[in-house]
Amino acid sequence: MSSPTREKTLSTDRLLSLPQKRRFEITRWILLIVGIYVAAVVLNLLIFNEAWDWPLVWSYLFSQRIMLGVLNTVWLTVLALMFGLLTGLIVCLARLSRFSVLRGAAFVYVWIVRATPPLVILLLIYFLGVLKPTLGIGLPFLPYVVEWPTNDLITPFTAAVVGLSFYLGGKTAEIFRSGFIAVGAGQREAVQALGLGPWTALSRVIGPQAIRVIIPPMANEVVTMFKNTSLVSVVGFAELLTTTQRLYATNFETIPMLTVACVWYLALTSILMVGQLRLERKFGRGFDRRVFRHDENQEFGPDVPVTVAVPLSESINQKGGVR
């Protein structure tokens, strides 16, 4: 505690030679103590509670059955993501189409998906055979040209893939749409004025800008969908949760088995989140705060614009060497 007068009497050199130190704040210490306490409670619950039975968890974590369940979950996620995102993109483009039939169909699709819980969708698809014993190709009210028994087509696996894709398609269609809406009309006009084709416009200009807006809600939806794979246990597809349930149905180690599942969900979600971070970096280019990269050719400070354009004759000379 030095008095102000004493500070003033210090010479500048002396002042500058003083080492810097962080200010003492009581709040920091209180928070630290509370934090340690909470961590201790959680650790106590996690580690020193016999019911977790960590050795058992560990012994099952990489067991063959669990690994098979993890593999099935990942495989199901990948397939449902692929079909779901594709469906979502198509439905979104249909919603933005200039053809009213496409707009209407897409709207109805989104409406139904929103109105139906994913669990119900899965069950409905799984039990489709009751509603319609055969599936085939043909015109309405006429006999099919070719047909298959529904129960041959709808296995637990296909029901899971179709159900989750169907659900994800409806949810992500709206996320895609929000992205496209967010891209300004000026960009669309520039695309039009340059005569860019619809595919180029989507893949090079509108898409990359839309993706930037889409990534956070999309990542949310993808993680939700990844965990929604656990719903598939109702149709009996042996993904991670179903496997775990079957295990504790026989060994009665409910909590340890569920912990095994949780550890895997945590690990896989972390991977997805790393993916999100990478995508955000990639598509953030050109949008981040005005950052001037170092430029050797620039004589002035970065913020000083070159006020006179190089006249045509000079620019040609520059290219062809000074003459």
Partner 1 sequence: MNASTELILELVRVEKKFGSFQALYGVDLSIAAGSVTCIVGPSGSGKSTLLRTINGLESIDGGAIFFKGELCHEEVRGGYRVPVSRTKSREQVLNFGMVFQSFNLFPNLTALQNVMLAPKTVRGLSQSEAKQVAKEHLARVGLGDKLGNYPNELSGGQQQRVAIARALAMQPEVMLFDEPTSALDPELVHEVLEVMRSLANDGTTMVIVTHEMNFARDIADELVVMADGRIIEQGAPREVLSNPQTERGRAFFAAIGEQHEKQVS
Q: Which residues bind partner 1 (CB under 8 A)?
A: 186-187, 189-190, 192-198, 200, 204-205, 208-209, 212, 283, 285-288, 290-293, 295, 297-298, 303, 305-312, 315, 318-319
Task: Please say which residue, 140 or 311, places its beta carbon nearer to partner 1.
Answer: 311
* Shortest separation between residue 282's beta carbon and partner 1, angstroms: 10
Q: For residue 311, what is the DSSP state? A: P
* Shortest separation between residue 93's beta carbon and partner 1, angstroms: 15
Handedness of CA 141, 144, 148, 153 (dihedral sign): negative
* Shortest separation between residue 94's beta carbon and partner 1, angstroms: 17
Query: Is 244:262 a contact under the CB 8 Å cutoff?
Result: no
Task: Please say which residue, 123 or 279, places its beta carbon nearer to partner 1.
Answer: 279
* Shortest separation between residue 185's beta carbon and partner 1, angstroms: 9
* Shortest separation between residue 175's beta carbon and partner 1, angstroms: 19
Structural tokens at position 46: 């996690």
CA distances from 63 to 57, 239, 286 (A): 10, 14, 47
Angle at 83 between CA 225 and CA 232, to 5 degrees: 40
CA distance 131 to 144: 16
Task: Please say which residue, 191 or 240, places its beta carbon nearer to partner 1.
Answer: 191
Task: Please say which residue, 141 or 287, places its beta carbon nearer to partner 1.
Answer: 287
CA distance 260 to 246: 13
Task: Please say which residue, 266 or 306, places its beta carbon nearer to partner 1.
Answer: 306
* Shortest separation between residue 308's beta carbon and partner 1, angstroms: 6
DSSP 244-298: HHHHHHHH--HHHHHHHHHHHHHHHHHHHHHHHHHHHHHHHTTTSS--PPP-TT-
Task: Please say which residue, 152 or 314, places its beta carbon nearer to partner 1.
Answer: 314
Structural tokens at position 300: 């002035």
Query: Is 132:177 a contact under the CB 8 Å cutoff?
Result: no
Task: Please say which residue, 220 or 318, places its beta carbon nearer to partner 1.
Answer: 318
* Shortest separation between residue 196's beta carbon and partner 1, angstroms: 6
